[in-house]
């Protein structure tokens, strides 16, 4: 579990990856759609998507010639629960 949390925090540390997650929170997107939102080359976008996939934050599904990415809401919910436990949110009147 600790390794999973570390991987998640490392993935979230980058503002580009946080923006990708925000975009995927709105709708599923192809790698091309994601790349179009950034001023960077395809290999850089691919790297960010790989980090997010390895952390379990996004899912990738091949649809024809495209790979469509979606937010892995289960992992995000588990991460938020871990954060609440780590900081004892909700215990003894903590906000």
92: in domain:
no
25-28 contact pairs (CB < 8 A, 24+): 25/71, 28/68, 28/69, 28/70
Average pLDDT over all residues of the chain:
90
Average pLDDT over residues 23-32: 96
Q: Structural domain of residue 66, as residue ranges?
A: 2-86
pLDDT of res. 34: 97
C-alpha distance from residue 25 to each of 21, 33, 95 (Å)? 6, 14, 25
Is 0.95 surpassed by the pTM of this model? Answer: no
User: Which is nearest to 15 in space by CA: 42, 41, 38, 46?
Assistant: 38
Pairwise CA distance, residues 55 & 4, whole Å: 7
How sure is the predictor about 88, in pLDDT bands with cuts at 50, 70 and 90? confident
Mean of the pLDDT values across residues 41-59?
A: 96
**Does residue 93 fall inside a structural domain?**
no
Q: How many distinct structural domains can be found in the chain?
A: 1
């Amino acid at each position: 579990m600790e390794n999973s949390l570390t991987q998640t925090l490392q993935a979230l540390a980058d503002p580009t990856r946080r923006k990708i997650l925000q975009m995927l929170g709105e709708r599923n997107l192809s790698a091309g759609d994601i790349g179009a939102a950034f001023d960077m080359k395809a290999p850089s976008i691919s790297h960010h998507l790989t980090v997010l996939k390895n952390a379990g934050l996004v899912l990738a599904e091949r649809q024809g010639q495209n790979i469509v990415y979606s937010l892995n809401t289960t992992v995000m919910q588990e991460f938020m629960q871990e954060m609440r436990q780590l900081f004892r949110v909700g215990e003894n009147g903590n906000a």
